Amino acid sequence: MSEIRFPLIIVNFKAYTEVEGEGALALARACAEVAGESGVSIVACPPMVELGRVASSVTLPVMAQHVDHKTPGSATGWVTAESVRRAGAIGTLVNHSEHRLGMEGIRSVVLACKRADLRTCICADSANSSGEVAIFAPDMVAVEPPELIGGDVSVTSAKPDIVIEAVRAVHQIDSSIPVLCGAGVKNGQDVKKAIELGAKGVLLASGVVKAKDQKQALRDLIRFV
Ligand code: G3P
């Protein structure tokens, strides 16, 4: 995974109005600037419709928020792993809390991604399910308790044990798979705590996307990394 280093910050743009059209490019540029000045590895996950434009405009690893398992060809309206790779993405989130796939769905998407040389970060809602999805040999697992997503309290303060246990569960399957955590992560203290708990980074959205000053929020996030 040459384009990604750990500790890693993945910024999921989701589908917020702030990242429609030019907003996605502006946030990706802010991510690239902060990554460049700090040397910290930041990945941008723009909305699918902006993926190609963002990937060709910024020097920053870009991942999709989702891909489908379909093979290229007769697949109207589906998004293939190959097309996402060709658009310039290096990887994708899989099974995000807002786009659940089920175990069979995860398995087929991860296979499609491996076929297309696309990195995978499988999201899971608990420590147990983090261990369960590790059997698919993803490049990363991100544990995110759904009830904390989009809120003001970070998983690292509200549920630190879930991070510790997710790392343990994943590493029982394969100790080389990095585990990230997310939900409510907002600042540098949250990222510092995540790393102390054994995570290799964070997956976050609203703390950056909805910040008044997105660049400042990014600088704050990485200040202890
Ligand atoms: O994908 C990141 C996510 O679900 C967490 O969202 O807004 O709590 O950082 P947020």
Q: pLDDT value at position 3?
A: 81
C-alpha 183 to ligand 1 mean position (Å): 5
Residue 69 bears catalytic tag: no
Catalytic residue from among 69, 144, 165, 171: 144
Please report which residue ranges of the chain form alpha helices under DSSP H.
22-38, 51-57, 81-86, 102-115, 127-133, 155-158, 160-173, 188-196, 206-209, 214-221
Q: Alpha-carbon Rg of the chain, whole angstroms?
A: 16
152 φ/ψ angles, rounded to the nearest 5 degrees: -100, -10
Which residues have any ligand 1 atom within 6 Å of their CB?
12, 96-97, 144, 149-150, 182-185, 203-207
pLDDT in tens for each of the 225 residues of the chain?
448 999 999 999 999 999 999 999 999 999 999 999 999 999 999 999 999 999 999 999 999 999 999 999 999 999 999 999 999 999 999 999 999 999 999 999 999 999 999 999 999 999 999 999 999 999 999 999 999 999 999 999 999 999 999 999 999 999 999 999 999 999 999 999 999 999 999 999 999 999 999 999 999 999 999
Q: pLDDT value at position 176?
A: 98
Closest alpha carbon to 201 in 174, 217, 224: 224
Q: Is the pTM of this model over 0.85?
A: yes
C-alpha 73 to ligand 1 mean position (Å): 33
Q: pLDDT value at position 1?
A: 40
User: Do 92 and 47 form a contact (C-beta atoms < 8 A)?
Assistant: no
Residue 12 CA, closest ligand 1 atom number: 1
At residue 165, the 3 state secondary structure works out as: helix
C-alpha 225 to ligand 1 mean position (Å): 19
Domain 8-221 has CATH 3.20.20.70: yes
Residue 144 bears catalytic tag: yes
C-alpha 107 to ligand 1 mean position (Å): 23
